[in-house]
Structure formats: C-alpha cells, structure tokens
Amino acid sequence: MDKEYVKELTNIEEDFAQWYTDIVLKAELADYTDTKGCIAIKPYGYAIWENIQKYTDDLFKKAGVKNVYFPILIPESLLQKEKDHVEGFAPEVAMVTEAGGEPLEEKLVVRPTSETMFSTLYSKWISSWRDLPVVYNQWCNVLRWEKETRPFLRSREFLWQEGHTIHATEKEARERTIQMLEIYAQVVEDLLAIPVLKGEKTPSEKFAGAENTYTIETLMHDGRALQSGTSHYFGQNFTKPFNIKFQNKEGKEEYGYQTSWGISTRLLGGVIMAHGDDRGLKLPPKVAPIQIVIVPVAAHKEGVVEKATELKNELEEKFRVELDLRDNYSTGYKFNYWELRGVPVRIEIGPRDIENEQCVVVRRDTLEKQVVKLDELSKKIEELLKEIQKHMYDECVERVKRKTTTATNMEEFEKNLKENQGYVKAMWCGDEACEDKIKELTGAKSRCIPFEQEHISDKCVCCGKPATTMVYWGRQY
Amino acid sequence: MDKEYVKELTNIEEDFAQWYTDIVLKAELADYTDTKGCIAIKPYGYAIWENIQKYTDDLFKKAGVKNVYFPILIPESLLQKEKDHVEGFAPEVAMVTEAGGEPLEEKLVVRPTSETMFSTLYSKWISSWRDLPVVYNQWCNVLRWEKETRPFLRSREFLWQEGHTIHATEKEARERTIQMLEIYAQVVEDLLAIPVLKGEKTPSEKFAGAENTYTIETLMHDGRALQSGTSHYFGQNFTKPFNIKFQNKEGKEEYGYQTSWGISTRLLGGVIMAHGDDRGLKLPPKVAPIQIVIVPVAAHKEGVVEKATELKNELEEKFRVELDLRDNYSTGYKFNYWELRGVPVRIEIGPRDIENEQCVVVRRDTLEKQVVKLDELSKKIEELLKEIQKHMYDECVERVKRKTTTATNMEEFEKNLKENQGYVKAMWCGDEACEDKIKELTGAKSRCIPFEQEHISDKCVCCGKPATTMVYWGRQY
C-alpha cells in the first residue's frame, strides 16, 4: 500500500508543475471549485495561513499597525482617479453591475487592491499633522481576473493583507516602506524558513501608481523566483488626485506621503515549492499546523493506544500534536500519509518501545530516525523542531548559492540560466529595452535591484553601454 | 469644553436612532463610504470585532470546528438548486456580470451566505461515514443588497462567520445545531455582557431552506429586540438537491444531515445599543479594546508624565491600557473623550496623588470614583473590571425583566407593548395568520418560541383558538 501511495505523487524532478498540483490536492491544502479560477482553501491549507496571519499580525501590532475593514466594492469612478493605477488594474477587475434585482447606476469594482478606497476615506479623515501618521491594514479577499490561474500562486480570488499609510514627510513614508519590507522578510525567513532577496523593482516592474516598489524574492525548488511580498512608496501620486491634505506644524497645507504593502496566500505556494520533495510537502515546524504526529505500532496490542494517548496529552502542552488512531489504515500507509502532509516529526510507538520506555522519532526533513527515551522526549522534540527549522532554512540558502551565477554578456547569461536555472546577477544600464530583450532571449525578468549591490562589470550585460546597477534576473512564477 | 463635547451627542431618550448614529461616528467605530450602504469599520470598531472573533474562534476550535476559505463568487446556477433558498436570497444578491473586460457567460453571485458553495464541495468530498462529521467554518465578508441600511445593524456588506456541517445522523446534526447556539449564547452573555433569550424561530421567520432555525435574541436600550445569532438545522433539504451522499456503516447510501450557523458584525450594534448611555458607548471590559485609560492631571508638573508612564507599563502586563498624553486637549475634554468611547476604567493621576502614592479610579458604568493606593492598583483594577462586567450584565438582565410582560388578549398585548416596549410573552395557536395580524396591529413580530416554555393561558392571544406554544413577541432591528 505504501508504495502505491507515494507513486501517486508525480516525481518532483520529472514534472514540477504536476507535482505542485498533486501536493495541493493530495495534501488537502485546497481544491478547485465550480467558480473558475477560484479555489477552496481546505482546513489544512487554511491552518497554515492562520499561522502566517497570527505571526505577521503580531509583528504589525508591535509596529503600530491598526486593523480596519473597508468595503470590497469600489465605485468605478474612484478607480479612475489615478491614471497609472487604473491602467494597471482595469483590465483584470470583476464588476458588479446589478444588485437587488436591478441594474446599478454606477458599476462597482470588486477590489483588486484598495488604494483608491483608502485614499478616499483618508482624504475625509485627515486634516492636521496631529492626525498623522495613519497606519491602517486590512486582512481581506481581493479579486484579479487572471487569464491563467494556479492554486495559491495565481488565483482569481486570494486572501491577503493590504496596509495603507499616510505620513507628514517623505522621509517617514520611505522609512515605513522599508520597515514593512523588513517585517515581510522576517515572516518569510523566520517563520517559513525561506531566505529572501531584498531589493527594488525596476520601473517597468513597479506597482501601478507607485514611485518605488520594493520586493522580497524567494527561489523555488525548480530555480524559478517567487515574488513573495511587496512594499510601495507612492509619494504624492495618490494624495494629490485624492486630495489628502493636512495642515503641517507651520500651519501650511501640504499633501501627504503614502505607502502600501501586502503579502498573500501566495506564500503557501512558496512554502510548497521551496521545501517540498518527492514524498510530498515539508512544513517548517514554526508554521506547521501539526508539528508532531504520533503513529502507534501494533495498536491492537494491550497498552499501546493508552501510552500513545498519554504521550499526546503530554506533548500537547507545548506542541501541536496529532494522534493517528485510524483503524482502517496500515501503519505504513499512515507514515506516507503524514509525510505527504509534511508534518515535521513523526513518533512511532509500539509494544517493545513501551517495554523499553522509549519511542522512535523520525524527522520529515532528513528522514533520520532516532530512538528517544520517553522521559527525555519533550526536551528532545523541542531541540529537534528548532534544528529542523534551521536545517530547512539552510537547505534553501544552499540552493540559492548553488543556483546563483553572474554573467557579463548574454552568451554567459543564457548558458548559466540554462545550466543552473535560478538567479543570474548581471549589470544593467537602466534601459527598459534591455529588460525586454533579456526577457525575449531567456524568459528571465529582472527580479530586483538588490539592496546589496556588487560590481560585476562596468557594462550592461545586454547592450554593453555603461551600467548603473547590478540586477538579479530570473524566471518567475 | 467638556459640556460642549457631551452636548454634541444626541440625547439617548429623545432620539435613540440619532444617538446610535452619533456613537458610531463620534466614537470612531465606523464611517460611511462612497459605496452606498457599505461602511468602513475603523480601528476602534474593528478591534472590538477582533476580540469577538478571537473569543468565538477559541470556542469553535474546542468544539472541533475547522476553518476554511471558499470563493466569494457563486455561479448563479448553484444558488438555484434549493427552491426556498433561492427565493429567500435572490432578491437581495449582487451580481458580477463582467470581468477581465468581458461579459461573463454565467453570472456570478456575490455570496449572501454560502450553503450552496459548501454543499457543492461537500458533495465532492464526502463518500463514506468515515468522512463525517464535516464541521467547517469561514470568517468572511458577505453581501446582501438591503434597501435600508444602518451601520453594523444592516449593512450591504458585513463580516461574519458561517459554519456549515454534514452529519451521518439527524440526531448528531440536531445536537450540533444546539451546541453552536449555546456557544453563541456564551459569546454574547459572557463576553458582551448581554443576556440572551434562546429559542426557535416560527416557521415564517426561518432561514430560507431550513427545517428549524434557532436564535439568540437580545433586548436593546429602547426595548427593541436584536436577533444576535442563528443556528439552522437543514435536515436533507440541501443534501438531496446537492447530492451529498455517503455510505453508512451498513454499506448503504444515505443523504447527509446538515446544519449552518452564524454571527456577524451586527453584534457591534448590539453592544452599542445594549449598554450605551448619554455619555456614549459603554464597553464590557472583556471585549473592550482599551480597558483602562490613564489621564495625567497637571501633566506639565514635574514627574507626572513619568509616573503615569510607569503605571501604564506596569498595568500593561495584565490589561489593555492607553495613556493619553495629548497636549492639545484639556483634562476635562479627555475625560469626555474616553467616556464617549466607553473605556471601562479611567485612572487620573496628578502631583498630589503622586505625593500620596495614590490615584483616582473612575468606573465608566456607574461613574463612581474611588481613591486607590498605587501598590494595590493592579489587584484593585482586576477586581473592578470583573465587577463592571458583572454589573453591566446585571443591568441588562434588569432591563429584560422590566420590559417583559405577559398578555392573554390583544388589548393587553398592545397596551403592554406601548407602555413597556420590550418583549410580550403570549400564547400562540401556530397559525401564521395570527403572526401577520399581530405584526399589523402592533408592529411586533414573533421573536422566538423560547426553550423555556411557560403556560400563560390556554388560548392564542390573537385568535382565541387553542394555543400550542408560548411565544416572545417584540419589535426588532
């Protein structure tokens, strides 16, 4: 039975895209629905999102962020107030055109993002420097009518948080932009055990209406990059058309300085693709809904279920534990079942273990087994979970190293990308035409202009003209 | 300045409806938006909702509820599968008819509730008794295109949770229906300090498509009732049209038994209207985002701000505390400001207090002042918050007693309702015609058939025919 179960999962190296879909469905993270392009997030997937939310929201609250909830429907005329913004989002919005059995006088956009709604309300509420800064966030659903969709990665509806702030000075707004990016980096690195690359998007990759867009990029198993969180500085691009003015300390009227920032359920796709392997999902202990699964061996023997239950009760005080007492599955089937679901630690306990006051502890990340004395179990597990979290992070760091190359000309660029997948570091002149050409030749886009710059050569990798910055390039999700 | 501030608030006895709107806006719980009928929930209002969510979700998890997230858009054809359901909801749905710049082939309903979406997915996932029960819930937004709207009480978009379950037996499903109603009763009584009346809705007041609808009803300041949470037993009304079948232990196919249950941001309206007074909002300590506000007196004097800050840091370990150091408002203004916002306890501390190692503690509910020694403050506050919570609950119990009468004929019914507002207890024959007539004569609807029945007379209060049950009647929000 075991083998079959694993066999059902597509080989990760053979067909990564199908492997991904397999994991989503078989680990019961989500399922397709009758609403095309929209998924149902199932309990196991949603529990991961809840852990991300909790961790992030705690950091937000420490950073002075206040949660709110604003309408999902936005009058079409509001969306049109900022030129770049409407150009960017109009092609992918869903529209409510009738309600209560009647056609609406003005169409209502289902929010693809809420800059326009927040800006409209801010213009009403803000009048003095004393009202600033305003640092509001909402956890909500948004809709973007994508042509091609994939569970978590590109879904027509997804869950996210969107923070929107107004500040009295450019300096403060810029600082907030970076502060929130740093929080996202912490969420992804510390909670999800995925190292991030921090930097600024090139102008062509900016958010519609932003002055600057900052990003954290992560590298997946197959070497493609995933944009995992973004933070935008708007300057006065929205505060002017939306008339968000305040009286400064000198008594003069001024337009506010604005930011916005978001992470989404896309991160679940990141967790799957950064850590998974041929046996299935691999969850970092900190974010895993179930950190430990206890599988009794020869459960029909006297005392086994009792002892397993006792262990569960003990461990539950400190960890998130599941005890698998199902009587219609073999032990081997259960091992595979929980490996597929990426539970970080498995405990096996049978009659002989009980006799010897011990149990078998198996790590999901390395599949290493060890025998642990029961009176040391809780302490041992605590150490082990930390070790797994760290090891999973380190493995991803290794991958980034392995899959990052440098190039000084396009031949090298193409060769490296082909051989390594992953990131190519190369100099850029700042011209969008070179980005376009690189995209055309290699399929790679600029990921970001990293905060940590390196000097690789003097010339643009594409056109050979003098370079202004070093850019990370790569194929993306 | 003080008086003016209070004066701005409409007198609660003179114009309760306007008082309510004043509180919503002036206590900054919510504001109107450019999307007609939809409100923006501001940080202070949203923080109350977060506390309700947290408390409820903890109870849910203990009761085996698992959270999920399913699409907000439902193909129109799904809504139409259950006859009563579509009749009930079709008139008030909002429709997405175009997306991505093109008209949709099939219109998508913005969920007014998700029985149809859950049922469709359940039919796909459930096949054996081993899959049951399924007890899923989602915290989300829903839209109902109401003609007349009021912040929190009746908003076109609102936030809620909706639980949807499938069971192998009618008995288990019925037990779950009542179990969830009991959880709602606990939320409203224990957290929100509002006593509830538990009972079953009459057939004409049932949820569209349900066999039985159970409700918790609460009584507001003006004697009107607020339906505060409902739990529905569906029998097989949805499982048959949606084909939710399972193989039972005997190997036979059977349709599942279904329930659903929900509470919403409407509860915020309940908190406002059950507890508020002429000075504003009055929040029960358990749900108050700020439990204690510290207002320094003569803050410019040496050591006052320091001492107040010290107190804040100390109290913050156990309570949710705010320190009001604003220098552009008078102390009196601040007192009113925080009273309007319903903060349960105010601490005043000035130079003389510091000298005497004491402070002044003021209760929001009774406005009683007491001098408390600083070294006893934390303990004293803990007791006081409990006392306030209890006192606020008791006050509401008192109101229910005061405003509940019995009637054996319509003359008495009308007289009692006119004099007392509130609930009228009266016998009913079970005929909808009598409900309609009572509604027409008095404006009162049946609130529920309470679980705790009393025998008031043998005859229906309206038609005089033999009565089957005792019903609570009242005007409603």
Cα–Cα distance, B80 to A3 (Å, whole number): 44
Residue ranges of chain B whose pLDDT lies below 50: 1-3
A100–B140 CB contact, under 8 Å: no
Q: Which residues pair with B250 in a beta bridge?
A: none
Asked if A75 has any chain B CB less than 8 Å from its own CB, the reply is: yes
Residues of A in contact with B322 (CB under 8 A): none
Residues of B in contact with A40 (CB under 8 A): 68-71, 117, 121
Asked if residue A193 and residue A145 are part of one domain, the reply reads yes
Q: Please name the residues in contact with B112: beta carbons below 8 A apart, sequence gap of 6 or more.
A: B89, B92, B93, B142, B143, B144
Residues of B in contact with A46 (CB under 8 A): 66-69
- A190 found inside a domain: yes
- B4 found inside a domain: no
Domain boundary among B275, B308, B339: B275
Cα–Cα distance, A122 to A128 (Å, whole number): 12
Give me the total of CB pairs closer than 8 Å, taking one residue from chain A and one from chain B.
Answer: 157
Total number of domains constituting chain A: 3
Asked if B91 has any chain A CB less than 8 Å from its own CB, the reply is: yes
Q: Please name the residues in contact with B94: beta carbons below 8 A apart, sequence gap of 6 or more.
A: A73, A96, A98, A99, A100, A108, B109, B110, B143, B145, B156
The predicted structure's pLDDT at residue B1: 37
Counting Cα atoms < 13 Å in the Cβ hemisphere of A223 gives 20
Block residue for tokens 């399913």: B70
Q: Please name the residues in contact with A456: beta carbons below 8 A apart, sequence gap of 6 or more.
A: A406, A407, A408, A425, A426, A427, A470
- B398 found inside a domain: no
DSSP class of residue A106 equals: E
Domain boundary among A356, A388, A420: A388
Domain span at residue B123 reads 29-275
Asked if residue A358 and residue A230 are part of one domain, the reply reads no
Determine how β-strand B197-200 pairs with β-strand B445-450: antiparallel
Q: From the CA atom positions of chain A, what is the Rg in Å?
A: 25
Q: Is the pLDDT of residue A28 over 90?
A: yes
For B13-50, what is each residue's pLDDT tens digit? Answer: 999 999 999 999 999 999 999 999 999 999 999 999 99
Chain B's closest residue to A33, CA to CA, is B121
Tell me the nearest-neighbour CA distance from B304 into chain A, angstroms: 23
Asked if residue B210 and residue B62 are part of one domain, the reply reads yes
**Nearest CB to B100 within list A91, A141, A328:** A91
For A419-439, what is each residue's pLDDT tens digit? Answer: 989 999 999 999 999 999 999
Asked if residue A362 and residue A419 are part of one domain, the reply reads no
The predicted structure's pLDDT at residue B84: 86
Packing angle of the helix pair A266-275, A43-62 (nearest 10 deg): 110
Among residues of chain A, what percentage have pLDDT more than 70? 99
Higher pLDDT, B72 or A80: B72
Residue A219 one-letter amino acid: L
The predicted structure's pLDDT at residue B265: 98
Asked if residue B297 and residue B237 are part of one domain, the reply reads no
DSSP class of residue B326 equals: -
Asked if residue A39 and residue A101 are part of one domain, the reply reads yes
Asked if residue B369 and residue B259 are part of one domain, the reply reads no
Specify whether the CB–CB gap between B434 and B399 falls below 8 A. Answer: no
Block residue for tokens 């600024």: A200
The domain that holds B446 is classified in CATH as 3.30.110.30
The predicted structure's pLDDT at residue A3: 47
Please provide the DSSP assignment of B367-422 as one string: --EEEEEGGGHHHHHHHHHHHHHHHHHHHHHHHHHHTEEE-SSHHHHHHHHHHH-S
pLDDT category of residue A8 using cuts at 50, 70 and 90: confident
Cα–Cα distance, B108 to A89 (Å, whole number): 20
Cα–Cα distance, A431 to A468 (Å, whole number): 10
A141–B136 CB contact, under 8 Å: no
The domain that holds A136 is classified in CATH as 3.30.930.10
Asked if residue A463 and residue A341 are part of one domain, the reply reads no
Block residue for tokens 């989602």: B138
pLDDT category of residue A411 using cuts at 50, 70 and 90: very high
Domain boundary among A359, A388, A417: A388
Asked if B73 has any chain A CB less than 8 Å from its own CB, the reply is: yes
How far out from the chain centre does Cα A282 lie? 15
Asked if residue B456 and residue B323 are part of one domain, the reply reads no
Specify whether the CB–CB gap between A444 and A433 falls below 8 A. Answer: no
The domain that holds B334 is classified in CATH as 3.40.50.800
Instruction: Please give the torsion angle defined by the CA atoms of residues A415, A419, A420 and A422, in that order, rounded to the nearest 10 degrees.
Output: 60
A90–B99 CB contact, under 8 Å: no
Determine how β-strand B66-67 pairs with β-strand B134-143: parallel
> Mean of the per-residue pLDDT values for chain A?
96
The predicted structure's pLDDT at residue A457: 96
- A1 found inside a domain: no
A124–B41 CB contact, under 8 Å: no
Asked if A98 has any chain B CB less than 8 Å from its own CB, the reply is: yes
Q: Is the pLDDT of residue A4 over 80?
A: no
Alpha helices in A325-431 (DSSP H): 331-340, 351-355, 377-402, 410-420
Residues of B in contact with A74 (CB under 8 A): 34-35
- A399 found inside a domain: no
- B11 found inside a domain: no
For A92-119, what is each residue's pLDDT tens digit? Answer: 999 999 999 999 999 999 999 999 999 9
- B98 found inside a domain: yes
Block residue for tokens 């008086």: B3
Chain A's closest residue to B327, CA to CA, is A130
Cα–Cα distance, B314 to B299 (Å, whole number): 19
Asked if A204 has any chain B CB less than 8 Å from its own CB, the reply is: no
For A113-171, what is each residue's pLDDT tens digit? Answer: 999 999 999 999 999 999 999 999 999 999 999 999 999 999 999 999 999 999 999 99
Asked if residue B231 and residue B169 are part of one domain, the reply reads yes
Asked if residue A75 and residue A18 are part of one domain, the reply reads yes
A33–B117 CB contact, under 8 Å: yes
pLDDT category of residue A6 using cuts at 50, 70 and 90: low
Please provide the DSSP assignment of B276-320 as one string: -BTTB----TTT-S-SEEEEESSTTSTTHHHHHHHHHHHHHTTS-
DSSP class of residue A466 equals: B
Asked if residue A79 and residue A126 are part of one domain, the reply reads yes
- A280 found inside a domain: no
How far out from the chain centre does Cα B64 lie? 22
For A320-373, what is each residue's pLDDT tens digit? Answer: 999 999 999 999 999 999 999 999 999 999 999 999 999 999 999 999 999 999
B273: buried, middle or exposed (CB in 10 Å: 19+, 13-18, 0-12)?
Answer: buried
